[in-house]
């Protein structure tokens, strides 16, 4: 059970959150993207052993989306940052 | 039998001899004392055979005294009882009724004991082999009947379960000397400390060993520390509470058991988030495997000692002790002092540390060095053991008790669950904590430390350190002095070679020969060994057997235990009833159901409620003599002929406001919303990014910069979250807020030719003439004196007004409408009729007629899609798959035979494959025929075609038609 530091509400239990998967995905422009690029945007996700940058929603709290960097093996949360902010440099 | 406790010592133990308790086991009456466990009381009464093994139904007796007990599993209570509880963990209470599981009629005479004769046909993995030869079908019924322990109670469980969350600075698991020292040090700092102990009493090993701390006997020191802990305001002591799980970020799950105590709760599951954890879980003794080691009367030395010291029970009168380490010599003292006879100590070591043997010899016991137990005898319990010495010669010794010790395994369960890595200690022959991952520390026996003074210091230091790390200042001083036990020393011995079954896992009947078989058949990895032989897979999860079994496999494959490794330690440490996870969330509290604002009226007027997307809504209103089908037909006729009243409060309502609101909705809907005029409403489709329809509804423009977005009832929460996700994560530059207001408003829909008359009669300041308030428009005003937002939209195909008023005034409006509508024969309408009406009309219902693959073109909405600019899902509509000509399309289906088409019936191709299916169906009282909707391959190009359908063996015939058999021109809408 993760303890997640919501940027707005502070440390809260995982049960209050929903995970939105990989973050920092760029949405292609509809009139420029080829089928392969669009399929990549829709369906292809990385699955790293190590640091994963992902979106979370504080669904049972402030209902705000935010980003965090989580180590997929240790489940350590290495950084929490707001949507629109660049990927922080973290070392596992 | 009452009153006969033949094995009870005349004095001693921590039981209350002034309080006799009566209980029943396998239908026989017994007496024990307050402070007994069911196990100690059975032993006091001389019950030898108290269980049967799982596979061979061999007679078994008590082997341990705690959570590690593999043999004596019982079912408590009658037809509401709980099954597979260990007798060693059940505190005796007055009137307790227990039955041994896995035997019939009782543990002593078990019909299935015949399995024991078939031993050679039931080797390890026999079960898997039946899959291959001759046929699984042949064996399945027999295996299924034999599988499983205990009985499912016949009546509903009346046990009380509870769950609780807690936070603390320091959690201490275990209350032996290390745990108490840790809790005392941490608690004295004022930190929030939780100490949990699975036993009813604090003290752990101090309850049955001779240790003296600070000049006090063990139990007295425990009492003093208990007093200290109580004086710390922030320290909470939980007895009868086992730590069973260790999860991410220092979440520890505790299971509190208060069975049979007549308290408000029998089980409570705690989820504790601790800043620091001190694991003082102690150690568990392991046996040595030898032929005949499962005979009742063979027990762990630590168990024999606990039964004497704690419960005043002498498990046997003539004992032999079998060991590979020093701890057994203490037991010889304990038994002799209690009046028992120790005939012999059989030590596998060639040399025995000097001081130990001296006392034992004074009692007349013989010491066999470099010797082993080669076999046992006794039909219903041990009568004789065979000793084989170093030269290979054997002798027999009479004994009714054989106490065995193969050494101590640090209890590393919690440590391993936390992610920690074990190391194998060659000197002490056990696995102990190595690399730590989470904010925890293991101390005392759990850390492989058996010397009492070191144990106390480790515990104290860990508790004090945990307090400091969480920002507190410990006050308590470390315990000063402690008597020394003889040093723990061991020479590893896992099993005694020889003929006869030498059991490793008692509960699952896994013997050394089964492990050897697994090795020969190449199931050599410890995880494969576990699955193939079921070693360690019983309710005891191999507490006495795992390390022995893995070491035996290591020996067979020439690997050290470190190399062979252990299987994964998993939650829960001891069994937890599934109901404890649910806690109070049962029955009506299982999931809170939402009630509509006018619920009380519906309830008082014959509504039959059903659950729709978390709401309790009237399915129909029953009249005397009616059934559900009749009520549905009557209510549908009322709407077509006169006027019906329907509560639609769960319909989703989201206010979207801001300078960019119109532009935002253009991107969210697949059709244009920015051209909508203030006061008008428009139907819209929302798509997923994959292009599939996820919701539909009416959007109204309240002002230039403000829209009211209507969603389906089921989509209310989902779509509000969907809008937020796009606003917060993708289009963060847009100046828009989206406020879900669904439950702030109640929605009452008037539908039918007399709807306008009722609205007039109830009184409104909104002009209602068709020219002034046309179909698909929206007005704000008052209705029956209540502020209202009124949509002229229709779900049924009839003239219809959807009146939204503040939720608190919904029932008032409902009653006003029922009153005003009386002259027009108004009637309430439930969801059943409502769905039938839209099916007649051919209106699709998202999630019923469509699924996660349905694109707008599939339901005939290709032409209304926005031409210019992006919207969610747009790009996906030009994928090759979206343009296939053979997609499933939304059509009407007319029954040719006249019979109703079942929902879910498949349309058949010529080859008998599926060409689509029926999604909605009903009997139309207006058209006097059955009507249906469905998704059919290339359906729109096949209008008029006659098709065959199949449903659960029945065949039907139908014709493909345009959806909307009723009023296809829409004349009744525009009146």
Please answer whether residues B284 and B405 qualify as being in contact, where contact means their C-beta atoms are separated by less than 8 angstroms. Answer: no
Mean pLDDT for B231-245 is: 97
Chain A interface test: which of B168, B248, B689, B866 (most A C-beta within 10 Å): B248
Q: Does B271 touch chain A (CB under 8 A)?
A: yes
Backbone angles phi, psi at B413, to 5 degrees: -55, -55
Please answer whether residues B199 and B240 qualify as being in contact, where contact means their C-beta atoms are separated by less than 8 angstroms. Answer: yes
d(CA B797, CA B752): 9
**Sole residue written with tokens 């440099």:** A89
CA distance A2 to chain B (A): 6
Residue B355 has pLDDT above 50, yes or no: yes
Residue B974: band (very low, low, confident or very high) from pLDDT cuts 50, 70, 90:
confident
Q: CB–CB of A35 and B247 under 8 A? A: no
Minimum-distance CB partner of A83 among B250, B721, B732: B732
Which pLDDT score is estimated for B107?
A: 76
Which pLDDT score is estimated for B911?
A: 94
Query: Taking the C-alpha atoms of B505, B511, B517 and B523 in order, what is their torsion angle to the nearest 10 degrees?
Result: 10
CB neighbours of B106 closer than 8 A, spacing ≥ 6? B26, B27, B99, B100
Q: Show residues of chain A in contact with B876, CB under 8 Å.
A: 38, 42
| Alpha carbon separation from B114 to B51, B70, B220, B593, B736 (Å, rounded) | 15, 21, 51, 53, 77
d(CA B209, CA A21): 54
d(CA B489, CA B500): 29
Residue B587 has pLDDT above 90, yes or no: no
Would you give the DSSP letter of residue B111? G
Chain B interface test: which of A25, A42, A81 (most B C-beta within 10 Å): A42
Which pLDDT score is estimated for B263?
A: 74
The pLDDT mean for chain B works out to 93
CB pairs under 8 A between A and B: 52
The residue of chain A nearest to residue B437, with distances taken between CA atoms, is A74
**Sole residue written with tokens 């076999």:** B375
| Alpha carbon separation from B699 to B99, B708, B781, B864 (Å, rounded) | 66, 6, 18, 15
Its pTM stands at: 0.90
Residue B2: band (very low, low, confident or very high) from pLDDT cuts 50, 70, 90:
very low
pLDDT per residue as tens, chain A (92 positions): 999 999 999 999 999 999 999 999 999 999 999 999 999 999 999 999 999 999 999 999 999 999 999 999 999 999 999 999 999 998 75
Which pLDDT score is estimated for B3?
A: 52
Please answer whether residues B570 and B418 qualify as being in contact, where contact means their C-beta atoms are separated by less than 8 angstroms. Answer: no
Q: What is the pLDDT of residues A60-70, one digit of tens each?
A: 999 999 999 99
d(CA B673, CA B701): 9
d(CA B327, CA B329): 6
Structure tokens of B790?
């009124």
Q: Does B880 touch chain A (CB under 8 A)?
A: yes
Q: Does B729 touch chain A (CB under 8 A)?
A: yes
What is the percent of chain B with per-residue pLDDT over 70, rounded to a whole number?
97
| Alpha carbon separation from B435 to B423, B440, B464, B780 (Å, rounded) | 8, 11, 21, 69
The residue of chain B nearest to residue A55, with distances taken between CA atoms, is B729
Which pLDDT score is estimated for B797?
A: 95
Q: CB–CB of B724 and A20 under 8 A? A: no
Nearest to B454 by CA among B415, B486, B484, B428: B484
**Sole residue written with tokens 């992006």:** B870
d(CA B551, CA B515): 10
Nearest to A51 by CA among A67, A39, A63: A67
CA distance B880 to chain A (A): 9
Q: Does B437 touch chain A (CB under 8 A)?
A: yes
Q: CB–CB of B248 and A65 under 8 A? A: no
Minimum-distance CB partner of A42 among B271, B689, B729: B689
Q: What is the pLDDT of residues B6-24, one digit of tens each?
A: 999 999 999 999 999 999 9
Residue B685 has pLDDT above 60, yes or no: yes
d(CA B573, CA B576): 9
Interfacial A residues in 68-87 facing B (CB < 8 Å):
74-75, 83-84
Q: Does A12 touch chain B (CB under 8 A)?
A: no
CA distance A9 to chain B (A): 17
Q: Does B968 touch chain A (CB under 8 A)?
A: no
H/E stretch holding B661 reads helix B661-668
Q: How many CB atoms lie within 10 A of CB B527?
A: 12
Q: What is the pLDDT of residues B705-751, one digit of tens each?
A: 999 999 999 999 999 999 999 999 999 999 999 999 999 999 999 99
Length of chain B equals 975
Q: What is the pLDDT of residues B695-705, one digit of tens each?
A: 999 999 999 99
Q: Does A15 touch chain B (CB under 8 A)?
A: no
CB neighbours of B565 closer than 8 A, spacing ≥ 6? B526, B550
Please answer whether residues B679 and B632 qualify as being in contact, where contact means their C-beta atoms are separated by less than 8 angstroms. Answer: no
Please answer whether residues B430 and B409 qualify as being in contact, where contact means their C-beta atoms are separated by less than 8 angstroms. Answer: yes
Instruction: Identify the residue with better confidence: B364 or B478.
Output: B478
CA distance B730 to chain A (A): 8
Residue B111 has pLDDT above 90, yes or no: no
Interfacial B residues in 680-719 facing A (CB < 8 Å):
689-690
CA distance B536 to chain A (A): 27
Q: Does B273 touch chain A (CB under 8 A)?
A: yes
Which pLDDT score is estimated for B145?
A: 67
Residue B151 has pLDDT above 90, yes or no: no
Which pLDDT score is estimated for B1?
A: 40
Minimum-distance CB partner of A2 among B249, B725, B728: B249
Q: What is the pLDDT of residues B409-420, one digit of tens each?
A: 999 999 999 999
Out of B119-133, B300-314, B573-587, B812-826, least confident range = B119-133
The residue of chain B nearest to residue A83, with distances taken between CA atoms, is B729
Structure tokens of B562?
């470190």
Out of B475-484, B802-811, B878-887, B944-953, least confident range = B475-484
Mean pLDDT for B111-132 is: 69
**B722-739 as b/e, with b when 16 or more CB fall inside 10 Å?**
bbbebbbbeeeebebebe
Mean pLDDT for B395-406 is: 97
Q: CB–CB of A1 and B251 under 8 A? A: yes
Mean pLDDT for B367-376 is: 96
**Sole residue written with tokens 């008597």:** B483
Q: Show residues of chain B in contact with A59, CB under 8 Å.
A: 721
Which pLDDT score is estimated for B572?
A: 96
Helices B177-187 and B218-231, interaxial angle, to 10°? 20
Residue B182 has pLDDT above 80, yes or no: yes
Q: CB–CB of B248 and A2 under 8 A? A: yes
């Amino acid at each position: 059970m993760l303890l997640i530091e919501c940027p707005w509400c502070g440390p809260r239990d995982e049960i209050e959150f929903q995970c939105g998967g990989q973050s920092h995905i760029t949405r292609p422009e509809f009139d420029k993207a080829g089928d392969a690029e669009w399929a990549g945007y829709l369906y292809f996700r990385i699955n790293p052993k190590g640091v994963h940058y992902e979106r979370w929603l504080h669904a049972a709290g402030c209902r705000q989306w935010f980003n965090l960097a989580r180590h997929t093996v240790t489940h350590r949360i290495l950084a929490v940052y707001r949507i629109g902010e660049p990927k922080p440099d973290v070392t596992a | 039998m009452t009153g006969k406790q033949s094995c009870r010592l005349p004095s001693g133990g921590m039981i209350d001899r002034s309080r006799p308790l009566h209980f029943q086991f396998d239908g026989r009456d017994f007496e024990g004392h307050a402070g007994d466990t069911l196990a100690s009381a059975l032993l006091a009464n001389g019950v030898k055979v108290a269980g049967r093994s799982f596979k061979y139904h061999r007679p078994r007796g008590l082997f341990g005294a705690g959570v590690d007990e593999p043999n004596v599993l019982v079912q408590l209570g009658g037809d509401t009882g709980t099954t597979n509880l260990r007798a060693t963990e059940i505190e005796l209470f007055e009137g307790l009724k227990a039955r041994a599981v896995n035997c019939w009629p009782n543990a002593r005479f078990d019909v299935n004991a015949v399995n024991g004769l078939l031993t050679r046909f039931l080797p390890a993995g026999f079960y898997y082999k039946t899959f291959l030869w001759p046929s699984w079908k042949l064996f399945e019924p027999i295996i299924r009947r034999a599988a499983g322990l205990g009985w499912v109670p016949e009546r509903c469980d009346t046990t009380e379960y509870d769950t609780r969350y807690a936070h603390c600075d320091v959690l201490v698991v275990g209350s032996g000397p290390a745990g108490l020292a840790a809790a005392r040090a941490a608690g004295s700092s004022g930190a929030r400390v939780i100490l949990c102990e699975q036993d009813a009493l604090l003290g752990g090993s101090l309850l049955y060993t001779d240790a003296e701390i600070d000049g006090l006997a063990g139990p007295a020191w425990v009492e003093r520390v208990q007093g200290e802990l109580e004086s710390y305001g922030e320290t909470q002591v939980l007895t009868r509470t086992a730590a069973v799980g260790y999860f991410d970020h220092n979440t520890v799950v505790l299971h509190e058991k208060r069975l049979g105590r007549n308290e408000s709760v029998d089980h409570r599951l705690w989820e504790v988030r601790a800043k620091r954890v001190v694991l003082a879980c102690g150690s568990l003794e392991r046996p040595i495997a030898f032929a005949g080691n499962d005979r009742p009367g063979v027990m762990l030395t630590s168990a024999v000692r606990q039964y004497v010291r704690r419960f005043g029970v002498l498990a046997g009168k003539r004992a032999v002790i079998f060991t590979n380490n020093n701890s057994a010599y203490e037991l010889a003292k304990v038994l002799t002092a209690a009046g028992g006879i120790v005939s012999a100590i059989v030590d596998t070591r060639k040399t025995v540390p000097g001081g130990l043997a001296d006392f034992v010899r004074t009692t007349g016991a013989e010491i066999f060095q470099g010797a082993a137990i080669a076999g046992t005898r006794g039909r219903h319990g041990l009568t004789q053991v065979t000793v084989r010495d170093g030269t290979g010669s054997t002798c027999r010794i009479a004994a009714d008790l054989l106490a065995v010790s193969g050494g101590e395994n640090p209890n590393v369960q919690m440590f391993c669950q936390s992610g920690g890595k074990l190391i194998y200690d060659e000197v002490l022959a056990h696995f102990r904590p190595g690399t730590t991952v989470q904010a925890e520390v293991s101390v005392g026996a759990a850390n492989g430390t058996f010397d009492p003074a070191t144990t106390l210091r480790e515990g104290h230091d860990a508790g004090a350190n945990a307090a400091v790390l969480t920002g507190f200042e410990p006050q308590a001083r470390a315990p000063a002095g402690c008597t020394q036990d003889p040093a723990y020393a061991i020479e590893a011995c896992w099993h005694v070679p020889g003929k006869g079954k030498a059991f490793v896992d008692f509960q699952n009947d896994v013997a050394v020969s089964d492990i050897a078989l697994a090795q020969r058949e190449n199931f050599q990895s410890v995880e494969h060994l576990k699955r193939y032989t079921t070693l360690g897979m019983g309710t005891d999860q191999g507490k006495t057997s795992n390390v022995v079994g893995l070491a035996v496999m290591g020996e067979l494959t020439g690997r050290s235990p470190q190399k062979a490794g252990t299987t994964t330690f998993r939650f829960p440490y001891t069994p937890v009833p599934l109901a404890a996870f649910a806690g109070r969330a049962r029955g009506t509290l299982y999931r809170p159901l939402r009630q509509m604002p006018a619920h009380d009226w519906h309830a008082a007027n014959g509504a039959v409620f059903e659950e729709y997307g978390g709401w309790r809504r009237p399915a129909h209103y029953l009249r005397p003599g009616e059934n559900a089908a009749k009520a549905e037909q009557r209510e549908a006729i009322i709407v077509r002929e006169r006027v019906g009243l329907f509560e639609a409060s769960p319909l989703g309502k989201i206010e979207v406001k801001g300078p960019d609101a119109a532009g935002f909705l253009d991107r969210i809907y697949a059709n244009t919303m920015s051209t909508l005029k203030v006061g008008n409403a428009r139907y819209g489709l929302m798509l997923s990014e994959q292009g599939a329809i996820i919701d539909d509804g009416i959007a109204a423009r309240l002002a230039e910069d403000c829209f009211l977005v209507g969603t389906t009832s089921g989509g209310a929460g989902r779509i509000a979250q969907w809008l937020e996700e796009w606003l917060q994560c993708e289009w963060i530059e847009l100046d828009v807020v989206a406020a879900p207001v669904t439950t702030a408003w109640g929605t009452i829909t008037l539908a039918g030719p007399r709807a306008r008359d009722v609205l007039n009669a109830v009184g409104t300041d909104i002009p209602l003439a068709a020219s002034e308030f046309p179909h698909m428009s929206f007005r704000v005003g008052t209705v029956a004196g209540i502020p209202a937002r009124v949509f002229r939209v229709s779900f049924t195909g009839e003239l219809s007004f959807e009146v939204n008023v503040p939720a608190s005034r919904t029932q008032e409006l409902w009653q006003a409408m029922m009153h005003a509508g009386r002259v027009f024969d108004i009637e309430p309408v439930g969801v059943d009729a409502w769905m039938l009406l839209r099916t007649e009309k051919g209106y699709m219902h998202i999630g019923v007629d469509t699924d996660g693959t349905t694109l707008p073109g599939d339901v005939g909405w290709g032409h209304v899609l926005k031409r210019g600019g992006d919207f969610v899902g747009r790009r996906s509509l030009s994928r090759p798959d979206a343009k296939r000509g053979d997609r499933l399309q939304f059509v009407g289906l007319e029954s040719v035979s006249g019979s109703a088409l079942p929902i879910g019936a498949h349309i058949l191709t010529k080859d008998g494959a599926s060409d689509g299916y029926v999604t909605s169906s009903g009997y139309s009282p207006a058209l006097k025929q059955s009507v249906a909707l469905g998704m059919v391959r290339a359906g729109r190009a096949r209008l008029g075609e006659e098709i065959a359908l199949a449903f659960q063996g029945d065949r039907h015939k139908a014709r493909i038609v345009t959806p909307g058999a009723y009023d296809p021109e829409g004349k009744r809408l525009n009146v």
